[in-house]
Amino acid sequence: MEENSRKGKKNKEIAAYLQQNAEFLSTVLEKFIQDEMNKYGFTKAVIALSGGLDSTLVSYIAAKALNPDQLLLLYMPYGKGLSNDDHANMVSKDLGLHLETWNIKNTADSLCGERSIKNPLRKGNVFARLRMVNLFDVSAREKALVIGTSNKTELLIGYSTWYGDSAAGILPLGDIYKTQAFALADYFRVPEEIINKPPSAELWETQTDEEEIGLTYDELDQILFWHIDKRFTFQELVEKGFSKEHVTSVLKLCRKSLYKQRLPIIPKVSSRTIGLDYRLIKEATNAP
Partner 1 sequence: MKIALAQIEPIFSNWDKSIEKHKEFIYRAIDEKAELIVFPEMSLSGYRLKDLTHELSMKINSDKMKSVMKLSMQIDIVVGFPEIDDNSRCYITQAYCSKGEILQTHRKIFLPINGMFEDSKDFMPGKTLTPFNVDKFKMGMLICRDMWHEEAIVSFVKKDVNCLIVASNIPLRNINRDGPAIDSFIERTVVGYAEKNSIFVIYVNRVGFEEGVCFYGGSMVASPSGEIIAKLPFLEESIVFIDIDHKEIERKIRSFPLHYDRRDHIVLDAFKENF
Closest separation in Å from C-beta 288 to partner 1: 6
Phi-psi region of 136 (alpha: psi -120 to 50; beta: other; left: phi over 0): alpha
Backbone angles phi, psi at 46, to 5 degrees: -130, 140
Cβ closest to partner 1, residue 35 vs residue 239: 35
Q: Judged by CB under 8 A, does residue 276 bind partner 1?
A: no
Restricting to residues 254-273, name those near partner 1 by CB under 8 A.
272
Among 7, 9, 25, 186, binds partner 1 (CB under 8 A): 25
- Assess 140 for contact with partner 1 (CB under 8 A): no
Q: Work out whether 13 is an interface residue with partner 1 (CB under 8 A).
A: no
The span from the CA of 238 to the CA of 226, in Å, is 11
CA 54 to chain centre: 6
Identify the bridge partners of residue 46 per DSSP, sorted by sequence position: 72, 146
CB nearer partner 1, residue 168 or residue 213: 168
Binding residue (CB under 8 A) for partner 1 from 1, 140, 263, 280: 280
Residue 163 vs 278, nearer CB to partner 1:
278
SS (H, E, C) 102-142: CCCHHHHHHHHHHCCCCCHHHHHHHHHHHHHHHHHHHHHHH
DSSP state of 93: H
Looking at 28-36, 79-87, 112-120, 235-243, which segment touches partner 1 (CB under 8 A)?
A: 28-36
Binding site for partner 1 (CB under 8 A): 19-21, 24-25, 27-28, 31-32, 35-36, 229, 272, 278-284, 286-288
